[in-house]
Chain A
Amino acid sequence: MPATPVDVTFGISKHDGALIDSVEVEKKIEQKALKGSDGNVARVHVYNPTNSGSVKGHGTLAVVPGVGDPGVTGITGGVTVITSVKESEKNEDFSDWEYQFENYPNAEAVT
């Protein structure tokens, strides 16, 4: 099987922070499938796209739980909620932090 050229990246490109360990983004969508008379799926409707993810890094952290900007490339529009922020210190390593977010691209925030 011939090799297929793939554009891979190395390192962090989705976040501008200087000391980011990792960025994860998961895009999801729900579906409703209707089976036809022969038992095969005949109609499909997709709805409610959402994005979720997490960022791990070191240094100064300005992100707080609540509606906000995760600072991740491609996560724009709708409402993004920072669902959790965890800050850690270790006796023999640098301090680090991690936050998780959920993005609802078709939603609007209610105050």
Chain B
Amino acid sequence: MTEAMVVGQWTSMPEVHDIVTGKARYCPDIQLPGMLTGKLLYSPHARARIMRLDVKKARKLPGVFAVLTHGDIRGENSYLYAHPDQPLLAIDEVRFQGDAVAAVAAQDEQTADAALQAIEVEYELMPGIFDPLEAMQPGADQVVQGEDNVIMAKTYRTGDVEAALSCADVIIENTYRTQWAEHAFLETEGGVGLVDDDGVITVYSTCQAPHRDRMQIARALAIPESSVRVITPYIGGAFGGKDEAHVQIHVGLLAHAAQRPVRLIRGRKESMLTHVKRHPIIVECTTAATKDGRLLAVKARAIADAGPYTNSTHEVLNKFGEFIGGPYKVENLEVEKIGVRTNNPITGAFRGFGAPQAAFVYESQMDDLARKLGMDPLEIRLRNGVETGTKMYTGVVVREGTAMKATLRKAAEMIGWEKRDQGERRPDRHLRRGWGMATILKGSGLGRGLSDHAGVVLEMHRDGSVVLQSGAADMGQGIVTVMAQLAAERLGVGLSSVRVIRADTARSPDAGASCASRQTIMSGNAVLKAADSIRDTLLSLAAGKTKISKDRLDLKGGRLHVDGEPHEISVRDLAQGAGNRGYPLHAESLYHFEYPTDVPEVSYRYSQEVFQFCTQVAQVLVDCETGQVTVERLVAVHDAGKMINPGGVYGQIEGGCAQGIGYALTEELILKEGHTQNASLENYVIPMALDLPELEIEVLEIPEPIAAPLGAKGIAESPIIPTAPAIRNAILDAIDKPLYELPMTAERVLS
């Protein structure tokens, strides 16, 4: 195969013109004739019984077209990520500040507000349950009547942990606490619903899973999925927070009830109060090792605050447990995963999905261990790092593990690890400088045992232009560009010849959710499959025309190439020829991820097989009098397998590191009796331009052997995972103070 012309090139994304001119339309920009404003009424309490709910007055207000309560839902009154325990509209009880009680659609915002005011609700306050440790005690008050507060209590074991602990030379035992974190995507949750001329409920949704949304909307309305259509306009960020449905089902219900288009956009405060947050987890972790730093065992007990509803608690804890031993050779491991209901905010998917919490634990343990043994933190990691062929504590065999040590070594080299003690550690009386590292792994894909697949439709027209239809939601992570590049590459055309139609369930096959760093692999492979089918038709035609065998032919730069040299026949000529002969240049493909079957025993459920390895090293400056931590340098070395879209890869890494710094130092939702005290971008403190160091990024391309398109694997989640422990370890190095709680605010550093 000749050198790629499109893939791997630093190319502008196809949407660039629309975005930089302001033409790109997101849900709040959609205007339809007769469109109404939708709003939701939320619970003012963290826990209360609904004694009376009367919407008669609201319904009678002029300009109000629909007021819905649970009784108006013909179908299922529940969200369905995994378990249908969260109601769309509360029935007799509200269980957190974001439980919706009613939905209205009115002629304008003012009238919608008036309608909300006119809804009469009487609550009887109930004592809230805010401590997961209390909530999990037998006999504790049930957050959901008839349901155990303990949603999940699963233990995974491999090897013999007790034996390992008893013969260990050194044991490190600590308790860690992580916080509720907010996604803070710039575009809040919203949707626009309408009933089209065919009676199809169409919902424009800022979402990550359009086909799953379609199922949920149909389910709530009790209509067939064939009567529902979900379209993704431009999406202003998601990071997992729009994986589960938010308001799109309500939007469908309102549009159906009002028989008019309805646009419902959450305000920022509303968004921060009501949508899912990252699970706060309390982890007791014990790490045992020999005196020369070889890990013998890891034992962990994790208690996650699930909020009142299940959402993705099982899955997040599952991922947490899958990586709690780190990218290390650990033969004895036990992890107890407990998810507990409370009346705190609902928790769900957020970039990393349990892995950031796990990494904070295992990478902090590694540094504490290194300290105790007087070992260099780099050395101890190299000593224990996985390699190609290592069988992990989950039973998964690492197919390509070079990146673990490669990223570690490269990052150490970039920061100047060996020479760090020559650096100025005490630039002033009250200032201390330190260096710390963290190396992590995260998997791509939904996990073994789950069907992971994506479909795509590809068509080349007579003039050589290409249309690609995919159901993969692009929230900014760049899957649209990746797919366009792969198609363009294989079909030998320029990127500008490929038009990608944004996810639309009426026009695109299901590609699954944009989550778990999976789309590059799943949709990428689907595109390659479809493109290869069309490519084959074109090359067969070319072979016939030129009387040259197919193996000497290629498509590149809009032309046929013979033995690597451009030919006078263009791709357009071939497309025309195909059209004339009635050869279809149309392919619909379905790609299924195949889990390797040659592995003797993979004992961890839903384990991932394709690994993103990365290492980050931080240089921090700590002000010992104020506790403020400045990240002066952050080195990030990632293995992407292959960069199909370098601009997108660097963007993901930079953005992820920025989120990681916030997660490490300043971001936390402050709760008081189930009520968020800082539901604003002013008081939920996210680093901005003046707070971030100039990141030093290096991307390794070690091709992924398992089913990765051209060797590429997703890197979407890994950037946010090592940042917090790297900073934590740098603080430890600077001021000799180990921290076990996130975020590491100035007050916590000082205390």
Same assembly: no
